[in-house]
Structure 1
Amino acid sequence: MGDRDWRPFIYGGLASIVAEFGTFPIDTTKTRLQIQGQKIDPRHVELRYTGMVDCFVKTSKQEGIKALYCGIWPAVLRQATYGTIKFGTYYSLKKVLAARRADGGSKEHLATNTFCAAFAGGFSSAIANPTDVLKVRMQVGDEKRNLVRCFAEIYRVEGVRGLWRGVGPTSQRAALIAAVELPAYDACKRALLPALGDAPLNHLASSLLASLGSAVASTPLDVIRTRLMNQRKLKDTTEPTQRIYKGTIDCFMQTVRNEGFLALYKGFVPTWLRMGPWNIIFFITYEQLKQFY
């Protein structure tokens, strides 16, 4: 591969890291809202927060502003892997498949774009899953060690499987988000070109429109994967020390049965509010980096 082929990977990773720093406190509130009120997990039965703002204020007062950024380094590490692979794979694979079509890639093809996005999202998320587990554990507030010690403790107590806990719904969620978000962004950007041109205002509007659909589609899977990642099972025991979810379907059923269907949309507001700014920061950064092509 030539040097130019690697640039979507590098720019995607850099833009993802910038966006992560800008929106991480919102992600922390989302995670804490998603794990509260679980009948099956005695650690998180209590409803501590009434919403995103309440969670933000209480966390800041009780634990300090730094608590809102607890887990930022595994999040940055995640974006350095997940973001790099996801966006680089999407744009590179789309280019390869477009060149093989009869039209030579002169027109955007929704089915091709959706397939490339879903594959890139699921594949990259599965690889980066351990960093996601670390991030969730640290955001919840139960894990106070630094990145390396937290990683070592999960591996020691729960084994390799602990680092890939929740990989199923995580990959499914990432594939779903990418399948909605990336083609939607490309389509919106193309539709707005005559009016706004290839300018930051176009990138801003396209990012906002793309984030709404992906937030609606992905929040239930996000709730499930957060709860699966936060639960612990010792590697040397056949029976868990507490009741845990057996998998994606069991978590879905238990959540709906014990808390109602709307529990699958816990954290929706911060999810959406984070996706909007995250996409804005990412795509504007990415588009500016593309000027170096």
Structure 2
Amino acid sequence: MGERDWRPFIYGGLASIVAEFGTFPIDTTKTRLQIQGQKVDPRHVELRYSGMVDCFVKTSQQEGVKALYCGIWPAVLRQATYGTIKFGTYYSLKKALASRRADGGAREHVASNTACAALAGGLSSAIANPTDVLKVRMQVGDEKRNIVRCFISIYEAEGVRGLWRGVGPTSQRAAVIAAVELPVYDACKKRLAVTMGDTPVNHFVSSLVASLGSAVASTPLDVIRTRLMNQRKLKGHIARPGEIIYKGTTDCFLQTVRNEGFPALYKGFVPTWLRMGPWNIIFFVTYEQLKQLY
């Protein structure tokens, strides 16, 4: 390997795209479950779905199976940027720090790995935020147009700020997920390698363990960022009497808990976990196989 090794970036992006295609319908059900029941948003007051399976069936029957993949292209574009930067930055930083330690990186250092992962997750998510906004708007079903028209619509009505709506909780969520997921995966893989070796079975088990912790830690922030991203705040718009708009992450958190109770922060937890598990399995198995090509 040369001093500038771009393979972690390339492999991370490719593996992320493969994983996204394989789990996107689950992500759509998660998004729809998270935005329903909001007393502050008249468009989503009604509880249309009783759970993940009900959401999947109703969406397929009422809007067609294609609706489950509405927003897939901004999601793929997001992974092409977010996934590439996140995993490439993490493994590059981890390698750089390991080379400076006395043991040469022979042991996994949880603290430094967690810091590298949090930085990589937060940075990459902030950069890719506009693609996340497009994905959420199209998944909810309000934006049926193609990705370019959806982008233009948001930009014209809400300005540049509309494309970075929810960037705070999105970056925080990504940092939390990465800080839990990547170090746990690396540590688990290294420990299991003693008995299983560096095999796909090891990668499968390690990614499954990593996904549970990240789902528990990140779901509340995921609910908040989804609601903020789905909220339209038109340029020059003045709120009417009785109209409530989330002012930011803290306000959305407080209003959600006040109006719907603490469990509302875990709306969509089951599809979140069920998506993270397969997503991580597909990603890490693909990533590890790509690494073995060269």
1:116-168 C-alpha deviation (Å, 9 max, x unpaired): 00000000000000000000000000011100000011000000000000000
Partner of 1:279: 280
Query: How much does 1:273 deviate?
Result: 0.2
Query: How much does 1:240 deviate?
Result: 7.1
Partner of 1:8: 8
1:7-45 C-alpha deviation (Å, 9 max, x unpaired): 000000000000000000000000000000000000000
Partner Cα distance (1:82, 1:243) in 2 = 32
1:79-102 C-alpha deviation (Å, 9 max, x unpaired): 000000000000000011111122
**Kept in 2: contact 1:37–1:46 (CA 8 A):** yes
Query: How much does 1:2 deviate?
Result: 4.2
Partner of 2:266: 265
Partner of 1:131: 131
Partner Cα distance (2:195, 2:167) in 1 = 42
**Kept in 2: contact 1:71–1:135 (CA 8 A):** yes
Query: How much does 1:108 deviate?
Result: 1.3
Partner Cα distance (2:13, 2:2) in 1 = 18
SS of the residue corresponding to residue 46 of structure 2 reads: coil
Partner Cα distance (2:18, 2:270) in 1 = 22
Partner of 1:73: 73
Alignment-mate amino acid for residue 246 of structure 2: Y
In structure 2, the CA distance between the partners of 1:280 and 1:240, relative to structure 1 (3 Å rule), is farther
Between stretches 137-146 and 235-244, larger displacement belongs to 235-244
Runs of 4+ deviating beyond 6 Å: none
Partner Cα distance (2:236, 2:151) in 1 = 18
Percent of residue pairs bearing the same amino acid type: 85
Query: How much does 1:239 deviate?
Result: 3.7
Between stretches 2-11 and 197-206, larger displacement belongs to 2-11
Between stretches 102-111 and 58-67, larger displacement belongs to 102-111
Partner Cα distance (1:250, 1:109) in 2 = 36
Partner of 1:230: 230
In structure 2, the CA distance between the partners of 1:283 and 1:240, relative to structure 1 (3 Å rule), is farther
Partner Cα distance (1:223, 1:90) in 2 = 25
Alignment of 1:176-255 (within 5 A): 176-239=176-239, 242-255=243-256
Partner Cα distance (2:195, 2:4) in 1 = 30
**Kept in 2: contact 1:70–1:139 (CA 8 A):** yes
Query: How much does 1:257 deviate?
Result: 0.4
Alignment-mate amino acid for residue 31 of structure 1: T
Partner of 1:41: 41
Runs of 5+ consecutive residues of structure 1 not aligned to the other structure: none
Partner of 1:141: 141
Partner Cα distance (2:240, 2:268) in 1 = 28
1:53-93 C-alpha deviation (Å, 9 max, x unpaired): 00000000000000000000000000000000000000000
Partner Cα distance (2:170, 2:10) in 1 = 23
Compute the TM-score of the two structures, normalised by the length of structure 1: 0.98
Partner Cα distance (2:144, 2:5) in 1 = 40
Q: RMSD of aligned C-alpha atoms? A: 1.3
In structure 2, the CA distance between the partners of 1:101 and 1:238, relative to structure 1 (3 Å rule), is farther
Compute the TM-score of the two structures, normalised by the length of structure 2: 0.97
Between stretches 96-105 and 38-47, larger displacement belongs to 96-105
In structure 2, the CA distance between the partners of 1:35 and 1:195, relative to structure 1 (3 Å rule), is same
Partner of 1:256: 257
**Kept in 2: contact 1:234–1:240 (CA 8 A):** no
Partner Cα distance (2:239, 2:55) in 1 = 34
Alignment-mate amino acid for residue 119 of structure 1: L
Alignment of 1:85-164 (within 5 A): 85-164=85-164
Partner Cα distance (2:218, 2:209) in 1 = 15
Partner Cα distance (1:9, 1:146) in 2 = 28
Query: How much does 1:194 deviate?
Result: 1.3
Partner Cα distance (2:156, 2:3) in 1 = 40
Partner of 2:53: 53
SS of the residue corresponding to residue 292 of structure 1 reads: coil
Query: How much does 1:237 deviate?
Result: 2.9
Alignment-mate amino acid for residue 7 of structure 1: R
Partner of 2:27: 27
Partner Cα distance (2:27, 2:2) in 1 = 36
**Kept in 2: contact 1:181–1:211 (CA 8 A):** yes
1:236-259 C-alpha deviation (Å, 9 max, x unpaired): 334479421000000000000000
Query: How much does 1:4 deviate?
Result: 5.9
